[in-house]
Structure 1
Amino acid sequence: MLMMGSSSVLIAFLPGYNYWGYYSIILLVVFRIMQGIGMGAELPNSLSLLNEKLRGYKASKYFSIIGISFPIGTIVASLSINFISIIFTETQINDWAWRLIFLFGGCVAFIIFYARKIILNNIEQEDRRTVARELFGTLRKQVLQIILMVGIIFVPGSLIIQAFFYISYFISEKAISSEFVYFSFSLSLIVMIFSIIFFGYIAEYIGKVKTLAISFIAVSIIAIPLFEMAINPSEIKILMFFIIQKIFVGCMIACYLPLVVEVFPTSISTTASAISYNFAAILASLTPSLLLVLIHELGYSSVGYFYMTITIIGVFFLFFLSKMVSK
């Protein structure tokens, strides 16, 4: 939280290119990397903290609270930009008003940091301090589980990232109104919030692995017709395209968040879940480039086959992971 908060504040006060030239660009990249590292560490820590508190009690339901942070954060960020654009002129925004968003985000991060300290002081935690050799020794025994978890998390991660690719695609390639595309995407995020909460409850009764496997199988079935909708899109097709995706992404997030910390030993759950999540996020970030290659070489219909393939692979990964954990 300190890394995210401090880097946001530093961006807010970073001199522009006209003052520091290329140094401003380099520092901006460094501060953005700091934000990414902070985010990559915060999510696994939150998951492990909640897992220790719950001890498996209705885990999916409560983990869904963490899951909705992404769509809520995205919506709040969009509203912040709209709010700034209403109050200030375009010239003011370009000159200095854009800094207010980063300043606000940094202040919120510091508030959450102190709130976290209060929570930690009120929760009895096991002393999990281990010698580095013991930690890495345990991690080496979990390499296959980590690889399987990376593959599982990659599926919803890729579905999230490709949505941003299609936002640009609909606007630039298909000449769809940007206002409608962003409206459809924002509405799908709201649907995603309810989807995460709903499937968090469902997973408590059906089981996280079964619910996640069902969502993977369902996406593998609808992937080809779903992405065919994007080839000749209408407004209703675009709306349904985003919403259907977010329903299944919400289901996947509600299931994999508790799963990612439960499959590893307590002594390495934070480290192993951080490795799994961040490697999956790195791979998912390559999705737009991969889609461009697929579309260029095989055409737009290849995208549906790609997602059909990775979701089927995800089902096998889930099967092997559940077998390994049950031993």
Structure 2
Amino acid sequence: MDNISTTITTQPTNLLAEPEISEATKKRSLIASTVGNLLEWYDWTIYAVASVYIAAALFDKTDPTSALLNTLAVFAVGFISRPLGGFIFGPLANKFGRKNIMLTTMVLMAIASFMIALIPSFSSIGYWASLLLLIARLIQGFAHGGEMATSFAYIAEIAPNKRRGLWASSSYVANGTGTLLATLSFAALNIFFTSEEVYEWAWRIPFIAGGMLAFFAIYLRRNMVESHVESEAKNDDVNWSTGKFLRTGFRLFLYEAGSTITFYTWVVCVSIYAITYQGMDPKSAFIASCCAQVIYIICLPFQGLLSDYIGRKKTTLITYAGCALVMFPLWNIISNEPWTLFVAQTIGLILIGFLMSCKAATMSEQIPTKYRTKMLGFFMSLAIALFGGTASYINTWLYSTDRGWIFSAYLIIICIVAFLVVVRWKDNTGIPLDQIK
């Protein structure tokens, strides 16, 4: 890490104060950031996709439902450390630069992935396996909280003002591609290995791959330009009162609550529901989910570009209104037939794409540069922990007690609240970020 830090500090310290940096250099930095995001989202999401197998390997499998709920509880606990990571890394990203933090978080994600891959089974070491899994997940959450907030700010800060939505879409193209690769990896495991082999040991392979690929992302990121260092920012003289800071933070928290619960519902919960409660063949479910995610990823840049033309506020409202209206109808069409999962998930993902495609731009345009990573790191991570991290657990628990409709109602209420928040805020689409006061 000392060598990495030395390399980093030789780079330009403030992109906003370095207009001579070429568009090509910024695009290379965007690619490096995006590849890192992709691999980190792969490492983060692979746990959710592998939850059924982790439950069998690292928990007491005499009660399968309890083991799955415990696995999802650890998934949720990983989100608890995200606000801590955002709270710590947010200010550090101002002081030491966005690039330094994004390199550090990649190292932590690699360590956590290797940990999960190498944990002995429950039958070998008992509850120590569950404890080690919890520690690894807490490390992942800590790193992810810092990475997500910092990369959101970084992409928005290096993007051209009039194409900020398009550039911002790279964040969730990376997110979607990482999630897709996580899903594909288990589809491939179910093709090349028997079900018994996947449950016994093969589920560990994607975690090993994720840890190794993280170091490739570190290699790419070492030459990224810097976008902001606190002492040289143009709007460091902005001073918000505590009240304004908290009010804006609360609005961002509610915005993110709607964003994260719809995202995890249509990316993670829907597949678990189809396999566990509708009896869908896992291999067919993974393939159907992969196809839906490919369509989602293809649509994201176009939806991000659309936000540059009609405004981030309008595209965000499309997501919240659409998800509230279709939640019950789409969930109810899912059966044990793979095509039903494909149709429901495709529609759900396209709807959330109107928000996710430009999310990094939308949130960054609400916060001055001085506070951007601090606020994103804490308020966004806190909302993700409370609403995204618990989504799979709540959904699985409610369906296990034949009260699944409560989850759909819960999602709709949160979407309505988020809709009302966004209706009231100013649309800052396309304005220079250093003009946000």
TM-score range, shorter chain: 0.7 to 0.9
Q: Name the CA distance, whole Å, in 2 between partners of 1:279 and 1:74.
A: 21
Distance 1:234 1:22, change over 3 A: closer
Q: Where does 1:293-312 land on structure 2 (aligned, <5 Å)?
A: 300-312=404-416
Distance 1:290 1:103, change over 3 A: closer
Give the equivalent residue in structure 2 for 1:151. 254
Contact 1:226 1:304 in 2 (8 A): no
Q: Name the CA distance, whole Å, in 2 between partners of 1:146 and 1:204.
A: 24
From 304, 322, 325, the equivalent of 1:221 is: 325
Distance 1:229 1:15, change over 3 A: closer
Residue type at the aligned position of 2:373: T
Distance 1:123 1:190, change over 3 A: same
Distance 1:19 1:290, change over 3 A: closer
1:186 matched to 2:290? The reply is: yes
Contact 1:9 1:102 in 2 (8 A): yes
For structure 1, which runs of at least 5 residues remain unmatched after alignment? none
* 1:3 CA displacement: 0.7
* 1:94 CA displacement: 5.7
From 247, 252, 263, the equivalent of 2:350 is: 247
Aligned residue pairs, count:
321
String of CA shifts for 1:151-190, please: whole Å, max 9, x gaps. 1122232123234333333334333333433332222111
Q: Name the CA distance, whole Å, in 2 between partners of 1:116 and 1:279.
A: 27
1:32 matched to 2:143? The reply is: no
From 216, 222, 228, the equivalent of 1:111 is: 216
Give the equivalent residue in structure 2 for 1:76. 181
Q: Where does 1:1-327 land on structure 2 (aligned, <5 Å)?
A: 1-17=106-122, 20-54=125-159, 56-84=161-189, 97-119=202-224, 122-123=225-226, 125-128=228-231, 141-163=244-266, 164-230=268-334, 236-282=339-385, 283-291=387-395, 300-322=404-426
* 1:254 CA displacement: 1.2
Q: Name the CA distance, whole Å, in 2 between partners of 1:136 and 1:31.
A: 38
String of CA shifts for 1:17-43, please: whole Å, max 9, x gaps. 566544343222211211121112111
Distance 1:221 1:9, change over 3 A: closer
Q: Name the CA distance, whole Å, in 2 between partners of 1:20 and 1:222.
A: 46
State which drifts further: 179-188 or 239-248: 179-188
State which drifts further: 285-294 or 168-177: 285-294
Distance 1:168 1:25, change over 3 A: closer
Contact 1:17 1:25 in 2 (8 A): yes
Distance 1:192 1:147, change over 3 A: same
Q: Name the CA distance, whole Å, in 2 between partners of 1:207 and 1:223.
A: 25
TM-score by length of 1: 0.82
Q: Name the CA distance, whole Å, in 2 between partners of 1:298 and 1:19.
A: 35
Matched residues, percent identical? 20
Distance 1:3 1:219, change over 3 A: same
Residue type at the aligned position of 1:173: Y
